[in-house]
Structure 1
Amino acid sequence: MSNSFPRPLVAGNWKMNGLRASHEELIKMQKGYSAELKGKVDLLICPPATLVHAFAHANLGSRIGTGAQDCHAQQSGAYTGEISAEMLADCGASYVIVGHSERRQYQKEKDADVAEKATAAHQNGLIAIVCVGETQQEREAGRTLAVVRKQLKGSIPAGSSADNLVVAYEPVWAIGTGLTPTAKDVEEVHALIRSDLRRILGKVEADKVRILYGGSVKPSNAKELMSVPNVNGALVGGASLKADDFLGIATAYL
Structure 2
Amino acid sequence: MSNRRTIAAGNWKMNKTASEAVEFVNALKEKVADTASEVVVGVPFVCLPGVVAAAKGSNIKVAAQNVHWEESGAFTGEVSAPMLADLGVDYVIIGHSERREYFGETNETVNKKAHAIFKHGMTPIICCGETLTQREQGVTADHVRYQIKVALLGLSAEQVKQVVIAYEPIWAIGTGKTATNEQANEVCAIIRNTIKELYGEDVSNATRIQYGGSVNAKNAAELFAMSDIDGGLVGGASLKIDDFTIIAKA
For this structure pair, what is the TM-score category when the shorter chain's length is used for normalisation? over 0.9
2:244 alignment partner AA: F
Kept after mapping to 1: 8 A contact 2:8/2:231: yes
Structure 1 residue ranges without an equivalent (≥5): none
C-alpha distance in 2 between matches for 1:73 and 1:34: 34
Kept after mapping to 2: 8 A contact 1:136/1:173: yes
State which of 52, 55, 58 in structure 2 corresponds to 1:56.
52
Kept after mapping to 2: 8 A contact 1:162/1:210: no
State which of 4, 7, 14 in structure 1 corresponds to 2:5.
7
Report whether the alignment pairs 1:18 with 2:16.
yes
Q: TM-score of the superposition, structure 1-length normalised?
A: 0.94
Percent of paired sites with the same residue: 43
Report whether the alignment pairs 1:86 with 2:82.
yes
Runs of 4+ in 1 over 6 A off after TM superposition: none
CA positional deviation for 1:148 = 0.5
What's the counterpart of residue 190 of structure 2?
192
C-alpha distance in 2 between matches for 1:242 and 1:195: 34
What's the counterpart of residue 232 of structure 2?
234
Kept after mapping to 1: 8 A contact 2:33/2:59: no
* Deviations 1:108-156, CA, capped at 9 Å, x for gaps: 2211111001111011111001100000111111111111011001111
State which of 208, 218, 221 in structure 1 corresponds to 2:219.
221
State which of 144, 152, 164 in structure 2 corresponds to 1:156.
152
C-alpha distance in 2 between matches for 1:78 and 1:144: 37
* Deviations 1:179-213, CA, capped at 9 Å, x for gaps: 00111111210111111111222211221111000
What's the counterpart of residue 178 of structure 1?
176
C-alpha distance in 2 between matches for 1:7 and 1:146: 28
- What secondary structure sits across from 1:228 in the alignment? coil
What's the counterpart of residue 146 of structure 1?
142
- What secondary structure sits across from 1:220 in the alignment? coil
What's the counterpart of residue 168 of structure 1?
166
Kept after mapping to 1: 8 A contact 2:70/2:116: yes
State which of 111, 114, 136 in structure 2 corresponds to 1:115.
111
What's the counterpart of residue 28 of structure 2?
29
C-alpha distance in 2 between matches for 1:115 and 1:59: 29
Q: TM-score of the superposition, structure 2-length normalised?
A: 0.96
C-alpha distance in 1 between matches for 2:161 and 2:186: 25
CA positional deviation for 1:163 = 5.1
Kept after mapping to 2: 8 A contact 1:130/1:156: no
1:26 alignment partner AA: V
Kept after mapping to 1: 8 A contact 2:128/2:148: yes
State which of 61, 65, 84 in structure 2 corresponds to 1:69.
65
Structure 2 residue ranges without an equivalent (≥5): none
Kept after mapping to 2: 8 A contact 1:219/1:248: yes
1:21 alignment partner AA: E
Alignment RMSD: 1.2
1:157 alignment partner AA: L
State which of 36, 39, 43 in structure 2 corresponds to 1:43.
39
C-alpha distance in 2 between matches for 1:137 and 1:159: 31
CA positional deviation for 1:41 = 0.4
C-alpha distance in 2 between matches for 1:107 and 1:209: 28
